[in-house]
């Protein structure tokens, strides 16, 4: 069984990743455990744990903050890989309110530099959701209509001037605020609450997100990179080498 840990910054990311992995890899193939860091002692979050013969074991580690993702990986990487047998560690974080777009390449280089002399550096990946993970939700422009029948892409464009069908939501500076403005059209608010995170996670069309050429070729580069990292994490190195030679 391959063991993969994904470090995330909060509950919205944790809930989304739980649902995504089940939909993407198959409920019968994975075992998922979530852990939330609370001071010195953490607590296990509610998560589904499929059969004992699953192909993949995922630990979703909620560190409770954007800046903590990098440091958590740095502090735990060697122990998790060498002592606990993890095959891959991924870090997922937003960049809103911390890095400008121009600073993102330097931030990635800085992260890689932390592990440049480590034997396990090839087993680490840092993914920036630009500018927030909500940009990935906005890529499925029909998700709001599934949440409330009035929120069609046409209705949203008419009232907010947002062309969700054609826009690349990665270009929005504050995607969570965009979602909040959409919710307000039906007298609601998007506040990153746990219930809202579960609602969005269950309403997203994952087939569209992972298969749409519109997205994979023309939009949301950070989402495409995340998919690549997940694929890489569940594929043994020897198999990746064979594929690269084909």
pLDDT in tens, 58-76: 999 999 876 789 899 999 9
37 pLDDT tier (thresholds 50, 70, 90): confident
Name residues whose C-beta falls within 8 Å of residue 212's C-beta, 6 or more positions apart in sequence: none
Q: What is the CA radius of gyration of the chain?
A: 18
Which pLDDT does position 41 carry in this prediction? 60
Residue 50 and residue 28: Cα distance in Å, rounded?
6
Under a CB-based contact definition with an 8 Å cutoff, are residues 100 and 47 in contact? no
Half-sphere exposure of 41 (CA within 13 A, CB side): 1
Which pLDDT does position 242 carry in this prediction? 42
φ/ψ region of 166 (left if φ > 0, alpha if ψ in -120 to 50, else beta) reads alpha
Nearest CA to 8 out of 74, 90, 77, 101 is that of: 90
CA 136: distance to chain centroid? 8
Which pLDDT does position 241 carry in this prediction? 45
Which pLDDT does position 27 carry in this prediction? 86
């Amino acid at each position: 069984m391959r063991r993969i840990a994904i470090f995330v910054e909060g509950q919205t990311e944790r809930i989304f990743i739980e649902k995504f992995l089940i939909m993407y890899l198959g409920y019968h193939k994975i075992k998922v455990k979530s852990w939330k860091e609370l001071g010195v002692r953490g607590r296990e979050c509610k998560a589904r744990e499929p059969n004992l013969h699953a192909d993949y074991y995922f630990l979703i580690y909620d560190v409770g903050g954007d800046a903590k993702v990098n440091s958590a990986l740095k502090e735990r990487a060697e122990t998790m890989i060498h002592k606990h047998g993890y095959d891959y560690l991924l870090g997922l974080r937003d960049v809103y309110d911390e890095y400008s777009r121009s600073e993102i390449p330097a931030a990635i280089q800085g992260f890689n530099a932390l592990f440049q002399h480590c034997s396990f550096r090839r087993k680490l990946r840092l993914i920036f959701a630009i500018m927030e993970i909500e940009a990935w939700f906005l890529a499925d422009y029909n998700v709001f209509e599934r949440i409330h029948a009035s929120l069609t892409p046409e209705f949203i464009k008419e009232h907010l001037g947002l062309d969700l069908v054609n826009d690349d939501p990665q270009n929005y500076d504050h995607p969570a605020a965009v979602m909040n403005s959409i919710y307000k059209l039906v007298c609601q608010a998007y506040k990153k609450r746990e219930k809202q995170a579960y609602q969005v996670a269950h309403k997203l069309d994952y087939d569209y997100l992972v298969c749409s050429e519109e997205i994979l070729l023309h939009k949301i580069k950070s989402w495409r990179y995340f998919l690549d990292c997940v694929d890489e994490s569940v594929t043994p190195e020897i198999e990746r080498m064979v594929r690269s030679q084909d």
